[in-house]
Amino acid sequence: MDRTALSLIGHAPLLKTNSDVLINRFRITSFPKLIVLRDGKASYYNALSPRDMRDHRRILSWMQSVWLPMVPELSAANSHQVMQGRTVVLAILDRTLKDFEQTKDKMKAAALEWLDVRAAEDKAEKQDLREKKESKIEEAEEKGDKRAIERAKGIQVVVKPKKEVGFAWVDGVFWGRWCRGTYGVDVRETGPRIIINEQDVKLSFYFSQLIIGETILGCQLAR
């Protein structure tokens, strides 16, 4: 933890605790456990073995993936970190509009909802893998095949990581030339828009239904 703390300066505080209140609140059942809190939402570092808890490079990599706000403002300083290696749902907004803050709040709520959807999918997939493992164990036990039983018990229940989805917003007036050149969007003419930088049909459908105020943001895919 000492080795990773210096890298967090300017990004997030690193705290340690043995509070029973927090242990119960975040349903911690194994120790040590690393979690990050963003906008009240907890994300957990996935440590499969004690070695993972001592791998400071892996821990730092995870911290870097979650130390930005849930929906950060895209800038020249953080654009590489926000956009690199992930699907990004980008809201192009006009901060001069009266409902600007409400629009950002709606975007944040949608991001939190999407994370809940992804977590539910992972949970269901993990349960399915567990059931398949138990089925193989039972099948091997019925046959009395000791080797098959050991192989089945050795199956690791690990959910395959999905491509990361990030969220951000950009000032479509200040960065007007970039928005027009990159996405063909002039926020002054079209109003707020949501851009998705990948041909992800599921995300496109979900966020095309995102309601901002009394209108639905147009949702287009980046080329």
pLDDT digits 0-9 by tens, 118-159: 888 888 998 999 999 999 999 999 888 888 889 888 888 888
Answer yes or no: is pLDDT of 12 > 50.
Answer: yes
Is the sign of the CA dihedral 44, 119, 195, 87 positive or negative?
positive
43 pLDDT above the threshold of 60: yes
pLDDT tens profile 58-77: 888 888 778 788 889 988 88
Per-residue model confidence (pLDDT) at position 213: 43
| CA 77 – CA 75 distance, rounded (Å) | 5
Give the contacts of 186 (CB within 8 A, at least 6 positions apart).
172, 176, 179, 180
According to DSSP, the β-strands at 87-93 and 165-171 are parallel
pLDDT digits (tens, 9 = 90+) for 68-119: 888 899 888 888 888 877 788 889 999 999 989 988 888 888 888 888 888 8
Note the pTM of the prediction, 2 decimals.
0.70
Which residues is 119 bridged to in the sheet? none
* Model pLDDT, residue 218: 53
The percent of residues in the chain predicted with pLDDT above 90, rounded, is 14
Scan for tokens 């709520």, then name that residue. 109
Q: Does residue 215 carry a pLDDT above 80?
A: no
- Each residue's pLDDT tens digit, 13-40: 888 888 999 999 988 888 888 888 887 7
- Three-state SS for 214? coil
Are 53 and 46 spatial neighbours (Cβ–Cβ below 8 Å)? Answer: no
Q: Which two tokens stand for residue 132?
A: 């398949």
Higher pLDDT: 220 or 193? It is: 193
